[in-house]
Amino acid sequence: MYKEAAMRSPHILVVEDDREIRAMVSRFLTKNGCRVTETGDAASMGRALETARIDLIVLDIMLPGEDGLSICRRLRATSSTPIIMLTAAGDPVARVVGLEMGADDYVAKPFDPHELLARIRAVLRRATALPDGPGAPTQAMRFADWRIDPIARDLRNPEGARVILTSAEFDLLLAFCRHAQRTLTRDQLLDLSQGRGTETMNRSVDILVSRIRRKIERDPRDPAFIKTVRSGGYVFTPQVATD
Amino acid sequence: MLLVDSSKRIATQIVVLLALSSFVALAGIAAIYFVMAPEFELPPKITRQVASIIVVLRGLEALPPANRAQLLAAYKDDEFAASMLDRQPGTLSDTVSVSERIRSWFVRQLPPGTRVLAIQSDGDGQFRVVTELSDGQLIAFHMARDDTGHLPLPVALMIAFMIVSTALLSIWAVRRLVSPLAKFATAVDRFGTHDHDAALEEEGPAEIRQATGAFNRMRERILRLIEDRTRMLMAISHDLRTPLTRLRLRVEELAEEAPKRRMLEDIELMDASIASAISYVREGGTAEAVEAADLPSLVETICDQFEDAGHPIVYQGPRRLTIRCLPLALGRALTNLIDNAVKFGASVTVRLETAGAHDVSIEVEDDGPGIPDAEKLLVLEPFYRTDAARRSVGGFGLGLAIALTVARHHHGTLTLLDRAPHGLLARLTIPVMAPPDARPDR
């Protein structure tokens, strides 16, 4: 199975114009079991994509010539290779734009290389995990008068007010919405949601579920949306419709 | 604008000015009118009566004395009567206060040679004009005076016209002059709290247009300054973060754990300082849109994040409370307040409550050393540093300044208070922008 091979030794393309950062990231990823190809701009990236099978692209936003956002949008039109954006702006607007352009995740400079690695693994795991439910992954969904928008990362309660979630909580709720009325084990939920933050790794799914319940359930002690399944897992009960 | 003493308002002053000037103008015109042309003062009735006097006098001169009574009887009617008068002492003095001007006018109207001996009034709206015929016979003409209680119609019309035109002009003045000025004042007032407002439309009189134009140009300059500042800081932060990233990765390749950890701490501190500077600059021209948000979910999310980082925080407050706000900015402000609290206190409580009918307050309470009163206002200033003990915490000293800026953007306040027995209570109070939507769930 190719995908299993990708999980064991994924081929990562690092697109970063700063030679030293590029070299150190490559060294770190290689040391941690990845095969790495380095490029410094859009043109050499194109050549690298033609010659090798790439599992994931780590893409800097600020590049000479065509910038990372534009590359990301262009790539998305033709391929589904996962992309993690690197940016120095550390700005929620840039993050939303990056995700709108089709990036799978986002890492702010200066970053902990361990965190980058964890996110690479999480994005790859997501790509091989359960297939998504109905509807395009970017489409907004509704459940019981609530509305969740994966691009704007925006959850609205029935009154239309924005309900604020951490990114891990949001990803978990999104995973629930995409797989409504199916019992999901904790491991499946971890796979489906993990990756946008290191917090998930330190937080068990149970704590995240209890926090989501506090924010969306009428009575968190008697939840109506996210029910606990006795054999170990959760099920999201509302009807989910794409918007 | 609303609190200005009404006598000091331009609208009031314009109305008073218009009323006074039209009154003065009218009085002036009336004075000139009566001095230059006194005959106009006299209503048509008197003019008619003067004509009758002339006819009667001519007739009487032509007739023999025996027939005079007959003529007089023929001319008698409701408002006019003439009679022959015996010459008696006292009958010839003027008793009516008729001005010399009117008297001479009256005399001028009669045929030359007519001798008016007296103009008398019986005090009852009746006139008596005593004349003498050429043979010495005295003739008294009794005439009803015009009812002076009523204003003559033209004068009444003039006054009515003056009132109506003053009112119309006032309305025009208020709309044309005052409302652009009021709009201008409001825009100047709002600028800086919500600078994404569009430029002011240049309208109204030339001076106001000029002021509006000057304001718009100043607004442009300020916006450009803010933009330049933001761009500069973004560039600096980008240029700092690239070497910082290299440093971060290089440290990772070091073998020794102890110096590595300290270096990582410094890198994190530098990054946090850059982030706070960006955040401070961004609050100056926030691009975030006001939207309805569930405040408890925002507060709890931030509390949870601190808890995950190892700082347990007690949250007290309603489970649902919708307010219109800038959620990201409010989140940054609250993060800074809690960040400050966990640095100095061991136990931190965050309280969310509605304060009165129009305000929501978020209180962050710690049991740390607190801040002396003398410094409570100073610590809200950007780049302010407290004493050495606090300085070790690092950063540019922007956290509270950012929180204050965010509070101001929400037309709210940030106050620092003492907590008993020790500690600091930071209270962020913001008005609920849409009161009908906001209600605590339970």
Which pLDDT tens digit goes with each residue over B420-430?
A: 888 999 999 99
Q: Indicate which of B239, B301, B307 best probes the interface with A, i.e. most A CBs within 10 Å of its own CB.
A: B301
Greater model confidence, B442 or B148: B148
A124 with A55, same domain: the answer is yes
Over residues A123-150, the mean pLDDT reads: 74
Number of domains in chain B: 4
> Which of A94, A128, A162 is where one domain is finished?
A128
Q: Say if B181 falls within a structural domain.
A: yes
A157 with A192, same domain: the answer is yes
Q: Say if B438 falls within a structural domain.
A: no
What confidence score (pLDDT) does residue B391 get? 45
A117 with A11, same domain: the answer is yes
B203 with B329, same domain: the answer is no
What confidence score (pLDDT) does residue A106 get? 83
Residue A186 host element (H or E): helix A186-193
8-state DSSP, A152: T
Distance CA(B28)–CA(A4), nearest Å, equals: 105
Q: Say if B57 falls within a structural domain.
A: yes
CA distances from B121 to B39, B78, B130 (A): 20, 17, 11
Q: Indicate which of A162, A198, A216 best probes the interface with B, i.e. most B CBs within 10 Å of its own CB.
A: A162
Chain A residues close to B248, C-beta within 8 Å? 110-113
A103 with A159, same domain: the answer is no
What average pLDDT does the structure give for chain A? Answer: 83
What confidence score (pLDDT) does residue B437 get? 34
Q: Say if B436 falls within a structural domain.
A: no
Q: Say if A134 falls within a structural domain.
A: no
The answer for B 236-295 residues in CB contact with A (under 8 A) is 237-238, 241-242, 244-250, 252-253, 267, 271, 275, 278, 287, 291-294
Instruction: List the single range of A99-103, B107-111, B147-151, B168-172 with lowest mean pLDDT.
Output: B147-151
Chain A residues close to B275, C-beta within 8 Å? 90
pLDDT beyond 50 at A198: no
For residue B137, the enclosing domain spans 44-144
Minimum CA–CA partner of B306 in chain A: A199
What confidence score (pLDDT) does residue B19 get? 82
B337 with B424, same domain: the answer is yes
A102 with A198, same domain: the answer is no
> Which of A71, A105, A128 is where one domain is finished?
A128
A208 with A167, same domain: the answer is yes
Q: What pLDDT, in 10s, does the model give residues B47-88? A: 777 778 888 888 888 888 888 888 888 877 777 788 887 776
What confidence score (pLDDT) does residue B102 get? 65
A184 with A103, same domain: the answer is no
Number of domains in chain A: 2
A115 with A149, same domain: the answer is no
What average pLDDT does the structure give for chain B? Answer: 79
Minimum CA–CA partner of A198 in chain B: B308
A93 with A162, same domain: the answer is no
Scanning the structure block, which residue is given the tokens 């030794």? A9
Which strands, in side-by-side order, build the sheet including B138-144?
B80-85, B138-144, B126-132, B115-121
Please name the member of A110, A166, A203 whose beta carbon is closest to the beta carbon of B244: A110
What confidence score (pLDDT) does residue A69 get? 86
Q: What are phi and psi of A15, to 5 degrees?
A: -110, 105
Partners of B355 in beta bridges: B359
DSSP A74-104: HHHHH----EEEEESS--HHHHHHHHHTT-S
Residue B329 Cα, gap to closest chain A Cα (Å): 11
Chain B residues close to A160, C-beta within 8 Å? 292
What confidence score (pLDDT) does residue B414 get? 94
Question: Which CATH number covers residue A232?
Answer: 1.10.10.10
> Which of B243, B266, B287 is where one domain is finished?
B287
Q: What pLDDT, in 10s, does the model give residues B202-238? A: 877 788 888 888 988 998 898 898 888 888 887 887 7
Q: Are strands A233-236 and A183-184 parallel, antiparallel or unpaired?
A: antiparallel
Please name the member of B271, B308, B328 whose beta carbon is closest to the beta carbon of A110: B271
Q: What pLDDT, in 10s, does the model give residues B405-414? A: 889 888 889 9
B340 with B406, same domain: the answer is yes
Q: Say if B441 falls within a structural domain.
A: no
Instruction: Establish whether this prediction's ipTM goes over 0.90.
Output: no
Q: pTM (2 decimals)?
A: 0.62
Q: What pLDDT, in 10s, does the model give residues B257-300? A: 778 888 888 888 888 888 877 777 776 555 677 889 999 999 99
Instruction: Tell if the CB–CB gap between B327 and A160 is shorter than 8 Å.
Output: no
> Which of B81, B116, B144 is where one domain is finished?
B144
Question: Which CATH number covers residue B400?
Answer: 3.30.565.10
Over residues B35-40, the mean pLDDT reads: 59
B10 with B120, same domain: the answer is no
> Which of B287, B302, B330 is where one domain is finished?
B287
8-state DSSP, A160: S
Instruction: Tell if the CB–CB gap between A28 and B249 is shorter than 8 Å.
Output: yes
B177 with B207, same domain: the answer is no
CB atoms within 10 A of CB B379: 20
What confidence score (pLDDT) does residue A94 get? 63
What confidence score (pLDDT) does residue A4 get? 57
| B245 neighbors A21 (Cβ within 8 angstroms) | yes
B276 with B293, same domain: the answer is no
What confidence score (pLDDT) does residue B90 get? 59
Instruction: List the single range of A104-118, A175-189, B140-154, B324-338 with lowest mean pLDDT.
Output: B140-154
Please name the member of A92, A161, A211 whose beta carbon is closest to the beta carbon of B294: A161
Angle at A214 between CA A208 and CA A215, to 5 degrees: 95
Q: What pLDDT, in 10s, does the model give residues B331-359? A: 889 998 998 899 888 899 999 998 887 89
Question: Which CATH number covers residue B114?
Answer: 3.30.450
Q: Say if A136 falls within a structural domain.
A: no
Residue B242 Cα, gap to closest chain A Cα (Å): 7
Q: Indicate which of A17, A162, A164, A166 best probes the interface with B, i.e. most B CBs within 10 Å of its own CB.
A: A164
Q: Say if B133 falls within a structural domain.
A: yes
Distance CA(B114)–CA(B112), nearest Å, equals: 5
What confidence score (pLDDT) does residue B436 get? 36
Q: How would residue A58 be classed by pLDDT, with cut points 50, 70 and 90?
A: very high
B103 with B181, same domain: the answer is no
Q: Say if B54 falls within a structural domain.
A: yes
Distance CA(A95)–CA(A109), nearest Å, equals: 12
A105 with A218, same domain: the answer is no
For residue A11, the enclosing domain spans 2-128
Distance CA(A202)–CA(A151), nearest Å, equals: 25
Instruction: Tell if the CB–CB gap between A215 and B308 is shorter than 8 Å.
Output: no
Q: Say if B376 falls within a structural domain.
A: yes
B156 with B31, same domain: the answer is yes
Q: Say if A133 falls within a structural domain.
A: no
Residue B278 Cα, gap to closest chain A Cα (Å): 9
Instruction: Tell if the CB–CB gap between B245 and A203 is shorter than 8 Å.
Output: no
Instruction: Tell if the CB–CB gap between B253 and A163 is shorter than 8 Å.
Output: no
Q: How would residue A23 be classed by pLDDT, with cut points 50, 70 and 90?
A: very high
Q: Indicate which of B294, B322, B433, B439 best probes the interface with A, i.e. most A CBs within 10 Å of its own CB.
A: B294
Minimum CA–CA partner of A160 in chain B: B292
Minimum CA–CA partner of B230 in chain A: A89
A41 with A108, same domain: the answer is yes
Residue B385 Cα, gap to closest chain A Cα (Å): 25
**Chain A positions touching chain B (beta carbons under 8 Å):** 18, 20-21, 24-25, 27-28, 62, 88-93, 109-113, 157, 159-166, 169, 199, 202-203, 211, 214-215
B293 with B347, same domain: the answer is yes
B19 with B168, same domain: the answer is yes
A222 with A114, same domain: the answer is no
8-state DSSP, A198: T
> Which of A128, A156, A186 is where one domain is finished?
A128
B304 with B366, same domain: the answer is yes
B15 with B59, same domain: the answer is no
Instruction: Tell if the CB–CB gap between A159 and B322 is shorter than 8 Å.
Output: yes
pLDDT beyond 60 at B438: no
Chain A residues close to B241, C-beta within 8 Å? 88, 90, 109-110
Most confident range, picked from A43-57, B4-18, B373-387: A43-57
Question: Which CATH number covers residue A34?
Answer: 3.40.50.2300
B182 Cβ contact partners less than 8 Å away, ≥ 6 residues apart: B1
